[in-house]
Every structure is written in structure tokens, then in C-alpha cells.
Amino acid sequence: MRRTIFLRIFGGYALIILILGLLTIIFSHAFEKRFHIETLSQELEDLGHTLEPNVLQLMEENRMDALDSYAKQIGEKINTRITVIDLEGKVLADSDSNPETMENHRYRPEIIKAYTGVTGTSVRFSRTVKEKMLYVGLPLRIKGEVSGVLRLSLYFERINDWFSRLRTNSAAIILVLITLSLFASYLLSKNISKPIKRLKDAAQKTASGEMNVQVLLKGKGELPELAESFNSMTDRISQLFDGLNAQKEQLMCILQTMEEGLVTLDSKGAIIFGNDQFKSMIKNNSPEGKFYWEFIRNPEFKNIVTQTNAEHKTQTQEVHYDDKVYLCSANYLETRNEIVITFHEITQERNLEKIKKDFVVNVSHELRTPLTSIKGYLETIEGLDEVQQKYLDTAIRNTDRLINIVKDLLLISEIESDEFEPKQESVDINELLLRITRIFQQKIKQKKLEFQTALQKNIPEIKGDSFELEQMLINLVDNAVKYTEKGAIEISTKNINSHIEIVISDTGIGIPEQELPRIFERFYVVDKSRSRKVGGTGLGLSIVKHIIQVHQGSIKVESAPEEGTTFIIRLPVKSKV
Ligand code: ADP
């Protein structure tokens, strides 16, 4: 049975009422019995005092037969047993028996007490009349001396009769009181439990989603106040729900109309939500509840999901799926332990990039041979006057620039291509640098620059592509020479924590701070006219950065205008390219 609040309150009341009723019956009975015995004893004592003068007179006159008749006569009238006992315990008179046949009463408790001069009372079984009786013994004094006992006794059966009537009456009264109390407590319990039940029912309805539930309780006190608070709470919740629903609708609208596919996965990889774009991408209308790998069996996608779950950080990765390329971005939702992944299709961009790259490679290839041929023919022209020679020099310089651009473009295309596999040779960086410095010796001398090297001896060889690495260092040293007019160029190497550090610094024109983040971009030059004058293509540093990247190294630049520039390169010693 459900322990409802009504049952709890009513049960509590009923239990208390029943216990109190039972205790009242038990204790009132015992108390009444004692009280009644005391009253009867007192009455018997008073009666004894009334009979005492007659008894004493007959005893003094030694008229024992008259005393016995007197006891029998009075005893019958007042319905009380009367016994007279002498100092030896001999029965001199008895209203209910023949004193001759009665045994000695010397040791009866009420008699013993009366012998001492005080009234003795006892309730016990009478061996003479074979019944339980109430005895009161009064000392009989002749000339101040106790010379016998007048004993009055009542049959207990009569007392019991009276008691059972009293008990029946008091039990009936108590039962009526219990019934009335139970009825009152029933009404009281209903009165308390009814509003609580109404509140409970309302709370259950609210919990099951019914938001406009109201409870109206009349009167004052805690429960009507509670009902009022409940009503304002449901009002507030309903407002919040409306707001949330509106927001949810808005969000769903955004999610369904966005161009990107979107999917939410739980920590085990099951799909919780997928927008329409995602569904059409995986060609399934109800992927919810299924695992993502049932639709996307792709190592790149698996990798991004695993990594986001493990690192709890945003991850971005290109994913190839169904002949298309997507830029996937995965975000971890801390509070729900879920991940949200968006699919931005970049197939067209990647195709365009490929077309652009192919175009650059094709054009560069096509231009290389005619340019080399033009330069060759230009160099054979002789016998020109001063002005014509100046024009010819300009033509040769620009052809050189074009050849350099074509060369750099081909190199960039090569290292950026997916098929590019750098060699894994043992490369001694110090040796490479010494070879390069020899190439630039002439130029350095011409510009009257100081040249210093500080190469650490016995630095370990690194694994890499020696041609690529040489190309990278040539570009950096070439820049140092190109952009320095006075002062010195310094090259140093050091072995630091399983890395080789190469520092190339100059005291040249320097690079303004705001230009530094862009110098590694393709075709980016700080000062166009100066770059053109020194034969720059704007591709050198982007080649440098690419080569360092494929060798898993890093490059840093520090520069200040008119003070100089320092490039710091770090390459891992056991690099596996
Ligand atoms: P470029 O062929 O024009 O030198 P780079 O890609 O090698 O192209 O360099 C990009 C730009 O960075 C250069 O145009 C130049 O402005 C600047 N730069 C590179 N190295 C240095 C340097 N050592 N000192 C000053 N400026 C430099």
C-alpha cells in the first residue's frame, strides 16, 4: 500500500489516540480500584467505631453468645461480615460462621496490626468462607488496654461486581471518546493532506511537461503561500520554456539552412543530431542513434573524432569523402561530453588550386627554354655604342630576373607537390655553409662587407635533402648580401638539445616590425623597387619556409630597420623526412 500523506498523518493520530485510550483504561482502572478499596476500608473502619461500644459492653459482661448473635444480626443487616477475636486469636463471635469451629486468627495480617493498637487492613483469601475478602481490624480497648479485635470484612466478589460495572462504563466512555477523536483526526488529516495532494498532482503534471498548471488554495498560512510560490514558479518556467523553444526553433532554422553539414556525436561516436546537409552528404535520412562509421569509413574523419575526444580541443582537418574534399572542424562540448563537427566543402577550391599549380608549372616549363635562349643570344651581341650597350644590359638583367622567377616557381611547385619526397641523406651543415660562403665571396668583397663565421666543431650530421637544404641556405645568405650595404654578415652553428641551430645575421637595411609576419608569403616584398633592383623575386623566403617545414624544423626572424636582420633556423638531428 502506498504511504500517502493522509495515511501518515491519520495513522499517526490514530496510533496516539489508541495508545492514550488503552493507557487511560489500564491506569484509571488500577487507580479507581485502589481508591475504592481505600474508601471501603475507611467506611468499614467508621462502621467498626459505631459498633465498638456495643461489642465492648458485651465483652466486658462476658456474654459471648449475645455477642455472636449481635454480630450475626448486624452483619446480615449491613451485608458485612463481623468477627470479634480475643487477644489469643480465638474467635469470640462471627456473623457468617460458628465461632466454635473457626481456627485461631492470631496470625492474620489485619489482626497482628490491630494488636499493636492501630487499624489493620488486608485483602486476602478467607480460609473460613473460602472467598477473597477485604478485612479491616480495629483494636478493642478496655480501660485503655487492647483486649481484642473487631474485624469487619466485605466479600470481594461484591467489590468486583461493582468494579466490572465501573470498568464497563468507563470503557464505553473511553471508546466513545476514541471514536470521536478518530473522526476528528480523520477530518484534520484530510484537511492537511488535501491541499498537499493537490500540490503534488500539480507538480507531477508540471514534471510531465504541462506548463500552465495552477493551484488555488484559499486561506492563509504556509500551504496557500506554497501554492502561490508554485504558481509563480510554473509561470516563470513556462516563460523560460517559451523563450527556449523560440531559441531552439531559431537555432534549428540556422542549422538546417546553413551551407555546411553539421553532426553531433556522443562520446561513443553515436550520431545525436545531423542537419539536412549532413544527411544528404551521407545519403541517409535518419542516421540518429547509429554510429558515424556506419556512414563515414574514413581514417581522416576517425582521426579528428578520436583526437577531439582525447584532447577536448577544437581540431580542423581536411577529409576526403565520396569524391569530395571537406574542411572538417570539430568542437568539444564540455558540459554534454559531445562533439559537434561541421563539414565545409572545399572541393572546388582544391581543384582551382590544383589548376593554378599545374598552370604555373606548365607556364614556367614553357618559359624556361625560350628565356635561356634569349639570354644566350643577348650575350652574343657585340659592337654596340654606349647607349645601345646600356639597353642591352637592362635587357639581360630583366631576362635574368625572369629566369630566376621561373626557377623559383618550379622549385616551389616541386616542394609543394603531393608527390614530393625529400631524400634522406646525411648532411653536414657546416660543410654546406662553407661551400655556400665560397659562392658569395666575390659579391661580399665587391660590397666591401665583413664576413664572419662561428661554426661549432663536430656538430652532428642531420638527415635530409642536401640539395633542398643548400637551396634554403643560399636564399638566406643571398638575402643577407643583397640587403646589406655596409657592416658585416655573420653565420654561426650550434648543437642544442638534439637540434642544430643556424644563425644568419646581417647589419643591413632591416625589416619594419609590421612587415615581419608577411615576409614568408609568396611574392611578398617589403620594398618593390629595391627588390627589383637587387634581382629579388619575392619567392626566396617562402621556399626557405617550405624546405624547413618538410625537414620538421623551425625558423624565427628578428629585425630592426637600419640595424640588421637575424634569421634563426633549427633543424632536428635525427629528422626523418
Ligand atoms: P626577394 O627575392 O625579394 O628577396 P624573399 O622572399 O627572399 O624575396 O624576401 C622577401 C622580402 O623580405 C624581401 O623583399 C625583403 O624586403 C625582405 N628581406 C628578406 N631578407 C632580408 C634581409 N636579410 N634583410 C632585409 N630584408 C630582407
Q: Distance from the CA of 358 to the center of ligand 1, in angstroms?
A: 26
Q: Domain 258-345 is of which CATH architecture?
A: 2-Layer Sandwich (3.30)
Q: pLDDT tens for residues 152-184? A: 998 877 777 877 887 788 888 888 998 999 999
Mean pLDDT of 418-437: 89
**Cα dihedral value 433, 435, 437, 441, nearest 10:** 180
pLDDT of 572 above 90: yes
pLDDT of 444 above 50: yes
Mean pLDDT of 40-58: 92
- Our answer on whether the CB atom of 564 is closer than 6 Å to any ligand 1 atom is no
User: What do you get for the CA distance between the two ends of the chain, in Å?
Assistant: 77
Contacts of 154 (CB under 8 A, 6+ apart): 40, 44, 80, 81, 133, 134
* Region of residue 140 (left: phi > 0; alpha: psi -120 to 50; beta: else): beta
| CATH no. for 350-416 | 1.10.287
Mean pLDDT of 544-570: 95
CB 509 within 8 A of CB 536: no
pLDDT score at 349: 93
| Phi, psi for 372 (deg, rounded to 5) | -60, -40
Mean pLDDT of 183-196: 88
Name the residue of 525, 533, 557 whose CB sits within 8 Å of the most ligand 1 atoms, as the mutation to test its pocket: 525
Mean pLDDT of 47-68: 91
Q: pLDDT tens for residues 262-281? A: 999 999 999 999 999 999 99
Name the residue of 405, 407, 511, 532 whose CB sits within 8 Å of the most ligand 1 atoms, as the mutation to test its pocket: 511
pLDDT of 535 above 80: no
Residue 101 is placed in which grid cell?
469451629
pLDDT score at 124: 85
pTM higher than 0.85 = no
Share of the chain above pLDDT 70, in %: 99
Mean pLDDT of 61-84: 91
Cα–Cα distance measured from residue 155 to residue 153, given in angstroms and rounded to the nearest whole number: 7
- Our answer on whether the CB atom of 519 is closer than 6 Å to any ligand 1 atom is yes
Beta bridge partners of residue 566, listed in sequence order = 505, 558
Q: pLDDT tens for residues 14-40? A: 999 999 988 888 888 788 878 888 888
What residue ranges do the domains of the chain occupy? 5-162, 258-345, 350-416, 425-572
- Our answer on whether the CB atom of 565 is closer than 6 Å to any ligand 1 atom is yes
- Our answer on whether the CB atom of 544 is closer than 6 Å to any ligand 1 atom is no
- Our answer on whether the CB atom of 185 is closer than 6 Å to any ligand 1 atom is no
Label residue 2 by pLDDT band (50, 70, 90): low
pLDDT score at 169: 85
Residue type at 150? L
The domain covering 425-572 belongs, at the CATH homologous superfamily level, to: Histidine kinase-like ATPase, C-terminal domain (3.30.565.10)
Atom in ligand 1 nearest the alpha carbon of residue 526: 16
Mean pLDDT of 217-243: 88
pLDDT of 298 above 80: yes
| Phi, psi for 6 (deg, rounded to 5) | -65, -50
pLDDT of 577 above 80: no
- Our answer on whether the CB atom of 339 is closer than 6 Å to any ligand 1 atom is no
pLDDT of 63 above 50: yes
Q: Which pairing describes strands 488-496 and 450-455: parallel, antiparallel, or unpaired?
A: parallel
Atom in ligand 1 nearest the alpha carbon of residue 408: 2
Residue 230 is placed in which grid cell?
508554485
pLDDT of 576 above 50: no
Cα–Cα distance measured from residue 373 to residue 375, given in angstroms and rounded to the nearest whole number: 5
Burial of 72 (0-12, 13-18, 19+ CB in 10 A): middle
Helix (H) or strand (E) holding 425: strand 425-427
pLDDT of 575 above 70: no
Q: pLDDT tens for residues 332-371? A: 999 989 999 999 999 999 999 889 888 988 998 899 899 9
Nearest to 163 by CA among 20, 39, 77, 18: 39
Mean pLDDT of 533-540: 82
Residue 525 is placed in which grid cell?
616584398
Q: pLDDT tens for residues 450-476? A: 999 999 998 999 999 999 999 999 999
Do domains 5-162 and 350-416 share one topology? The answer is no
Residue 573 is placed in which grid cell?
638531428
Q: Which fold has domain 5-162?
A: Beta-Lactamase (3.30.450)
Kindly report each contact of residues 198-202 with a partner whose C-beta sits within 8 Å and lies 24 or more positions away, as own/partner. 198/227, 199/223, 199/226, 199/227, 199/230, 202/230, 202/234
pLDDT of 301 above 90: yes
Beta bridge partners of residue 155, listed in sequence order = 133
> What are the distances in angstroms from CA 456 to CA 114, 496, 501, 545?
134, 11, 10, 24
pLDDT score at 385: 92
